[in-house]
Structure 1
Amino acid sequence: MTGTERVIPSLTVETTETGDPGPLVPLLDRAHPLLWTRRGFGLVGLGEALRLEFSGPTRMTDAAAVWRRVAAAARITDPLDRTGTGLVALGSFAFSEHSSQTSLLIVPSVVIGRDHDRSWVTRIAVGEADLPTAPPADPVDGGYRVEFGPGSMSAEGYRDAVATAVTRLRGHELSKVVLARDLVGLLPDGADLRAVIAALDLAYPDCWTFAVDGFIGSSPETLVSVDDGTVSARVLAGSAARGTDARSDQDAATALATSSKDQDEHQYAVQSVLAALRRHSPNVMASEIPFTLRLPNLWHLASDVEGDLTDGSTSLDLLAALHPTAAVAGTPTEDALRLIEELEPFDRGRYAGPVGWVGADGDGEWAVAVRSAQVTAGRITAYAGAGIVAESVPERELLETRMKFRPIVEALS
């Protein structure tokens, strides 16, 4: 059904303040973990009061329209009235309009939330049904490892794809393209996915750690955040491996900051975000000079973007305007997408698509779903990509993807 044809149930939503729930990961459902967390803020979802699925080129605009109807029909009691309370949905969207992977918004039956000074529980039911209760925390199982091997694209195949892309770029067919590759592993029977999520959350506290419908990861890149009329984003493009000691680490950061290749790649990404947001926020601005962002496994060139929304857009509305950015597709966008479909022998699924949450008022936080993997029927597929420009060297780009695989691979080592 289209967005206008869907039958929208009336949800009863009740938020109450509670004591600190403690570590969030043990609260997750073993089979269907649903999580969004960073720097002490977190949302744990349990059960499904409502599941909305979308596909095709209008998947994000359809989601925005349907979510307005869901929020308008809901009966919400929310005395806290703060970020993450009341009606919320966690969601994940496919990268490509041609993907066989569905995009979705999930309204949990129970949401356990926490920020720096308060905690809460939101219970959600359909119609007049009784409001559910949250189950107790369940200790996380660990002690298993996964061996990853090549997926649909081998290391040699990736080098060949990069070389082909460089030829096209030097022929001025386009300015930049982002090419990804995949790794595949098998999970042991009964593996507790919460152990992987806990490892990611511990190792990457400054990233958005997420779990939505078997899609897990820790992303450093904010696609868009909307809060009370303010829009913000963090653009990452250009990266380098961390050094082995303090001196080499600083040298790596300096080399990245002064690299014309990485600076060019970064500016393509920043300008694509600014151009997409200016229709909604005419005063949107980016930091004048990109800064080096330190993560446990690498350095990134980063720029923060911020402005005031003037047209009442929600975070879901802005997904359609922003996705895909040059940081995960390339420039010009349509040319880059065609080359990705030609050179990547797999469906990216939700990798590099938007992942995050939205509230009843449309405010929310959405990351670019990098450093991620999809779990389906005991099989885990991890993805990593690199931005290719005319100066790119295939072996260097392959090494960059190896660095970007590290969060997922090490969480399962």
Structure 2
Amino acid sequence: MLDEPRLDSVRAQLAGTFASIAAGLASPSLVTLPVPHSAFQGAEAPERIGLLRAATVIWRPAGSETVLAGFGREMRLHGPRDSSLHEAARVLRDATALPRLDTAGGRARPAFFGGARFVAGGSMRDPAWDPFGGWAFVLPRLLLAITGETVEGSVTLRLEPRMSRAAIEEKLAGDPPDRPPAQLVRPAWPAESPGADWCAVVSSAIDEIAEGRYQKVVLARTADVQRDGDIDEGVVLDRLAARYGGCYVFKIAQAGSAWLGATPELLCRVRGGTVSTVALAGSVPRGGDPESDDVLAARLLSDAKERREHAFVVQALREGLAPFCSALDIPAEPEILRVANIQHLRTPINGQLHHSEDVLTVVAALHPSPAVGGSPRAEAVAAIDRLEGIDRGWYAGPIGRLGLDGDGEFAVGLRSGLIRGATARFYAGAGIVQGSDPEREYAETETKFRPLREAVDGL
């Protein structure tokens, strides 16, 4: 992004300021400084795709023109495969309780970025997910906020009292590169299930619903991609961000793999004592023109099966938020959300928090909602483990940003894939309820694969 002499000058300036602050600290603290404006003056504009490719984390909120790109790991907090979101929330609360000094302001405010498995543990195990663990959150050392050709930056360090300038300069020099485990260079994924096999699994779930074992279950399937050369994460993310402006675009890189996607579903946002979430369930494809779009949307709004699937999600979110909120605002009827290739039933939900709960605590209470698991929750999750035959890993798990003040936002990791070198595995699911048709549900998953397939192939 910058020539080496310019980088050396910026590092020297930051190191001196950090050292002065460390000299006056009474306890370990998180300190954030703005990247000097001189870092960008006179330099060529940062090459966007290169930044997306090189970043440790990427987060682009839905509807925003600003991409947050994090580099390096000042702190990485993580739990094993069977560690829960509640444990993650506890660990993050302790980490954000450190004294902090933030003089950066602007859009590049320090935050932990990360996510978690769909559920802790599970009977299926795909080694490709092992480097990600049960959950993981990174506090980037360098955070850039990229809006068009404008770049703001901040650097966050965990400083010890009287930390030496030499130690600070070593931190600013950056992390050593990841050394991926050799056995994961080319994942030996099991073959994806043929359509007929997956439809048979859906039929089994429909039978179990008829027996009264549960009311709804979301079943996922995979699609694998193998290319002659490495898949360019930067290009894939740039295409997703350009085409899916109403979605949350994300990337988490770990040990040579990248989990990335463009998801339409907000799980939870906490800001200044207010909590927001969205019930998103029930879908149809986009039409070829505005008139056919409207016809399909009207059909979706009047479809008893889709409305029933959506109602399960609304009720579960209502029940999950109620203990935290003094008031909830939930519209009586859903609206239509349109993204590039699909339309969804959408109900926005807002509430006022009783206390100052951090966003991850609320996320742990809401996830997994019936939109990605089913209803009742425990029975549906057990059915997924029994029927699906894949390790979801972080697919359909929470992914997002936790600010050092506890505010933040998390989406559900949908329309997503795990990329490693020339290989990729995409994930998509469909909600199964009474009245579901296996072939129609299969077609829905094919529609949901399109964003990643088109982003990889440049369609």
TM-score range, shorter chain: 0.7 to 0.9
Aligned pairs (5 A) from 1:205-224: 205-213=245-253, 214-224=258-268
1:124 aligns with 2:164: no
AA of the residue aligned to 1:320: A
Structure 2 equivalent of residue 51 of structure 1? 76
Is the Cα–Cα contact under 8 Å of residues 117 and 397 in structure 2 kept in the other structure?
A: yes
Structure 2 equivalent of residue 163 of structure 1? 203
Aligned pairs (5 A) from 1:333-412: 333-376=377-420, 378-412=422-456
Q: Which moved more, 1:42-51 or 1:374-383?
A: 374-383
Q: Which moved more, 1:367-376 or 1:325-334?
A: 367-376
- Distance in 1, matches of 2:215 and 2:293, equals 30
Structure 1 equivalent of residue 3 of structure 2? none
Q: Offset at 1:153?
A: 2.2
TM-score (norm 2): 0.79
- Distance in 2, matches of 1:309 and 1:33, equals 32
User: Which structure: greater helix fraction?
Assistant: 2
Question: Which 5+ residue runs of structure 1 have no aligned equivalent?
Answer: 1-7, 135-148
Is the Cα–Cα contact under 8 Å of residues 32 and 104 in structure 2 kept in the other structure?
A: no
SS, match of residue 173 in structure 1: coil
- Distance in 2, matches of 1:286 and 1:22, equals 44
Is the Cα–Cα contact under 8 Å of residues 84 and 119 in structure 2 kept in the other structure?
A: no
1:332 aligns with 2:366: no
Q: Deviations over 1:351-379 (max 9, x none)?
A: 00001111101111100010000123542
1:97 aligns with 2:126: no
- Distance in 1, matches of 2:66 and 2:173, equals 21
AA of the residue aligned to 1:13: T
AA of the residue aligned to 2:73: E
Q: Deviations over 1:206-225 (max 9, x none)?
A: 10011112110000000000
Q: Deviations over 1:98-124 (max 9, x none)?
A: 155412101111001257999631102
Structure 1 equivalent of residue 177 of structure 2? none
Structure 2 equivalent of residue 176 of structure 1? 216
TM-score (norm 1): 0.87
- Distance in 1, matches of 2:47 and 2:68, equals 8
Percentage of matched positions with identical amino acids? 32
- Distance in 1, matches of 2:310 and 2:46, equals 36
Q: Give the root-mean-square deviation of aligned CA atoms.
A: 2.6
Is the Cα–Cα contact under 8 Å of residues 150 and 182 in structure 1 kept in the other structure?
A: no
Which residue of 42, 45, 55 maps to 2:67? 42
Is the Cα–Cα contact under 8 Å of residues 217 and 432 in structure 2 kept in the other structure?
A: yes
Is the Cα–Cα contact under 8 Å of residues 24 and 44 in structure 1 kept in the other structure?
A: no
Q: Offset at 1:311?
A: 2.3
Q: Structure 1 residues 313, 340: CA separation in 2 closer, same or farther (over 3 Å shift)?
A: same
Q: Structure 1 residues 269, 17: CA separation in 2 closer, same or farther (over 3 Å shift)?
A: farther
Q: Offset at 1:157?
A: 1.3
1:110 aligns with 2:129: no
Q: Structure 1 residues 115, 314: CA separation in 2 closer, same or farther (over 3 Å shift)?
A: farther
Q: Which moved more, 1:303-312 or 1:111-120?
A: 111-120
SS, match of residue 282 in structure 1: strand
AA of the residue aligned to 1:90: F
1:185 aligns with 2:225: yes
- Distance in 2, matches of 1:23 and 1:264, equals 48
Larger radius of gyration: 2
Q: Which moved more, 1:195-204 or 1:70-79?
A: 70-79
- Distance in 2, matches of 1:162 and 1:17, equals 56
Q: Which moved more, 1:382-391 or 1:368-377?
A: 368-377
Is the Cα–Cα contact under 8 Å of residues 46 and 149 in structure 2 kept in the other structure?
A: no
SS, match of residue 95 in structure 2: helix
Which residue of 87, 94, 100 maps to 2:110? 87
Q: Structure 1 residues 410, 108: CA separation in 2 closer, same or farther (over 3 Å shift)?
A: same
Is the Cα–Cα contact under 8 Å of residues 151 and 182 in structure 1 kept in the other structure?
A: no
Q: Structure 1 residues 276, 17: CA separation in 2 closer, same or farther (over 3 Å shift)?
A: farther
Is the Cα–Cα contact under 8 Å of residues 25 and 197 in structure 1 kept in the other structure?
A: no
Structure 1 equivalent of residue 278 of structure 2? 234
Q: Offset at 1:239?
A: 0.1
1:72 aligns with 2:116: no
Question: Which 5+ residue runs of structure 2 have no aligned equivalent?
Answer: 1-26, 175-188
Is the Cα–Cα contact under 8 Å of residues 71 and 87 in structure 1 kept in the other structure?
A: no
- Distance in 1, matches of 2:287 and 2:410, equals 30
Total equivalences in the alignment: 390
Is the Cα–Cα contact under 8 Å of residues 230 and 421 in structure 2 kept in the other structure?
A: no
Is the Cα–Cα contact under 8 Å of residues 9 and 70 in structure 1 kept in the other structure?
A: no
AA of the residue aligned to 1:168: E
SS, match of residue 113 in structure 1: strand
Q: Offset at 1:9?
A: 7.2
Q: Deviations over 1:305-333 (max 9, x none)?
A: 10111122101111110110000000001
Is the Cα–Cα contact under 8 Å of residues 90 and 357 in structure 1 kept in the other structure?
A: yes
Structure 1 equivalent of residue 4 of structure 2? none
Which residue of 258, 262, 287 maps to 1:243? 287
- Distance in 2, matches of 1:61 and 1:393, equals 36
- Distance in 2, matches of 1:226 and 1:25, equals 29
Which residue of 26, 33, 38 maps to 1:14? 33
